[in-house]
Amino acid sequence: MSASGASAGTETRRDRPPCAFLSDIGVSAGRSVAIAELVQEGADASALRALEDDGFEAYQQSDEDVVQLARSAMAASLAKSSAAPGDVDAVVFGVESLIDAAKGLAGPERTLPQIRYELLAILPDLGMCRALPYGNWLLSCANLGSTLTLAKSLVESGQHRRVMVVLSEKYRIARLMDNEAAVFSDLAVCCTIGFGEAGFRIKHIVSTATPGLARPDAILGGESLGKVLMATVTALKRLEDSFMQKTGRRPKDCKTIVGGHFHARSIGILAQLLEIDLPRFRRDARRRFAHAYAADNLLTLSDIDDGGGLASGDEILLVNAGIWAWSLILLEKV
């Protein structure tokens, strides 16, 4: 084929602009506890049975705080990497539990600035002495999409060469989510974003948000359900249109689709609006980890990959959803 023919045809790997990769997923969790035991803490027994019927078995309970969990996950990720810790030149912390510290839920002796200093102290302790820290936490369970977008952009723009992403969370007041769609776990998940030929190529990320839904009355059910659903329908249509503009395909055309660790009735809303058959949403890791905030998609992705369920060239769509924000993350297994 001539040079002119190659340029007019399908884009070759050599023609592609540099694309960041996701690799070295590390996990830190506590001890596994059967979700049925939450009845002893006042959780609704019928809600727990519904979750068990949907494949949820246990949640993770840890005596470590968000800082200790983050450190353990970062160490686990570094242990998987062929690069030295000193090669990591940026770290993005997507830690929503810092909000709880600001509200006093972390205890009077540990303020938000104190937790910030403790997180920063991890970097030189693990050998990342020149890493520039970033923070991203405004999208709650949808933090993954925005955090990966930031890390991917930092790498592909040349600002940094190797960026570590850290998602670390502790449950708040009650393990059972207010809408009974999931049970919260204590855990941290870490991965590395950079150039390479291992892991997953981050092909595209599209996101959208409806900040007007980021209010307690919308989240806890005080807002009119009809208004919330209409706002969600509009946002997901916008998200699907953005995905089609980027990829030329619809989300349902992707081979493997990974959803969050929510009850099927909640995932069903996404499935219906995106016209994806509900059984296609992979939530494999929900059995062991329950709901891990923004890290659900990475946990199930790791489970599928570790189990041999992905081959080189396979595309995976991560559907990262929250109450007021949503992301579609298209990966390719290398």
Cβ-based neighbour number of residue 283 at 10 Å: 22
What is the mean pLDDT for each group of 10 consecutive residues in the chain (334 residues)?
41 64 96 96 95 98 93 98 96 86 69 88 97 93 96 97 96 83 96 92 96 70 69 94 97 97 94 96 97 96 97 97 94 96
**Same domain (yes/no): 193, 262:** no
pLDDT of residue 212: 85
Q: Decide if 8 is inside a domain.
A: no
Q: Decide if 4 is inside a domain.
A: no
pLDDT digits (tens, 9 = 90+) for 275-313: 999 999 999 999 999 999 999 999 999 999 999 999 999
Residue ending a domain, among 177, 197, 217, is 197
pLDDT of residue 221: 54
Residue ending a domain, among 153, 180, 197, is 197
pLDDT of residue 17: 64
Q: pTM above the 0.85 mark?
A: yes
Average pLDDT, the chain: 90
pLDDT of residue 178: 83
Nearest to 92 by CA among 154, 40, 45: 154
Considering its fold, how many domains does the chain have in total? 2
Determine the structural domain holding residue 145 and report its residue range.
21-197
Residue ending a domain, among 175, 197, 219, is 197
pLDDT of residue 214: 79
